[in-house]
Each structure stands twice: as structure tokens, then as C-alpha cells.
Amino acid sequence: MLSFFKDYKLFAIVFGIISIIIMSIFYNILKVDKPLPIYQPAMVNTELVDSTIQHKIKYHKIADFSMTNQNGKTITQADYKDKIYVADFFFTTCQTICPIMTGNMETIQKEVLNDDDVMLLSYSVTPDIDTVEQLKRYAIKKGVNDKKWNLVTGDKGEIYRLARKSYLAVKDDGMPDDYGMVHTENFMLIDKKSQIRGYYDGTKTEDITTLLNDIKKLKKEYEE
């Protein structure tokens, strides 16, 4: 009888060790971060997507663009080549969500200031008001680092098309043929292939934390 309990005790110890090992393996497998999604028009709220591409389910990328930044410099897709970047749409005279969004974009700027892989890009939805001079005043006031963050203005039709057909980020104001945009609180995370990898509420601190973590996840994709 004593021998039986000794054998049982040994079995219990071995079984316990094996169970711990198996649980550790499963834990490590389950905690592996999943890749960030690659957003397609069909995955996004239809209010934010031009009707001509709402059906699109793959191969979506940000279109080439040409804008002018706060320093009067022409900014194109080439300036963001091989970069991860965060984009949003705003206007300098906005008194509602824009100040919060700009403050949170500044927080992101501080976190990635010394990271050459990451940049920021903010498009004005009122380019007729947001001239280069106006953007420069706003940039100085908000602590924009010119090497890291471009505030851009340009042709309203091009900005509208980028917002609705590329970034899938703003609502149409419903007025025919005027390129009217109702900007939203969306921040978009764009990868080095010009693909959308995440949407975040630019007014929420918790979303900014998630965005910063997702930037780290995205960077790991390029390290593998």
C-alpha cells in the first residue's frame, strides 16, 4: 500500500510538471500578437467611403498626392516612402474636436520624435481658409516639428478624393458638386506599402495608447 502511494506521488509530480509545460506553451502561443488588419473599403462604415469603391475588398492603397505644407514645400507620396505614418483631417478654425485631436497628435509626435520610421500628416478640409501662412501660424502655436509632421493644404477636390477614396475617413456633406466634407475624429495608421492598418478615435486617450502600441506592432512586421 505504501509503495502504491509512493508511485502515485511520483506520477502526480510528473503529471504536474508536464501540465505546467503544456500550459506555458499554450499561453505563449495565445499571447502572440496577431498582425494588424489591412483595411479595405468594404470593411469601413459606408458613410466614410465614396460609393464608387464601397464594394472593394482587396488591393486598396492610398493614392498618390501633391499638397503644400506649412512651410510652402510641396509634399507628395515620395516624402512618405518607406515610412509608417499617422494621418488625419482637420481645419485650423475648428473649435470642437480639432484642438483635442491636434493635442493628441502632438502626444504621438513626442513619442515618435526620434523614430525615423514614423511620420505624421494632417490634411486641411478647408484649404481655402488654411493657406500656407495660416498653417504656419497654427503649426507654431501647436508645437509642430517640421521634420516629423506636415500640415497640408491644396486643391479641395484632391483632398476630398483622398479623404473619401483613399483614407476612407470623412463624410460627404450632401451638397452636389461642391466637394463638401464633414471631417471626423479618425486617425489612420498607414504602413510602408500605403495600406490602412488601423482606425482610432483621435479624441480619446485610450485610442492614442492603442495607436502607439500598434505602431510598435507594425514596426515588428518589418523586422521579421
Is 60 annotated to bind a ligand? Reply is: no
**Cβ atoms 90, 194 nearer than 8 A:** no
pTM: 0.85
- Mean pLDDT along residues 214-224: 92
Whether pLDDT at 31 is above 50: no
94 assigned to a ligand binding site: yes
> For residues 171 and 48, is the Cβ–Cβ distance under 8 A?
yes
Identify the pLDDT of residue 167: 98
Q: Report pLDDT for 138.
A: 98
Q: How confident is the model at residue 8 (pLDDT cuts 50, 70, 90)?
A: low
Q: Which of 46, 29, 80 is nearest to 171 (CA)?
A: 46
Q: Does 137 appear as a known binding residue? A: no
Q: Confidence class of residue 223 from pLDDT cuts 50, 70 and 90?
A: confident
Mean pLDDT of the chain: 90
Q: Which residue has the cell 464594394?
A: 55
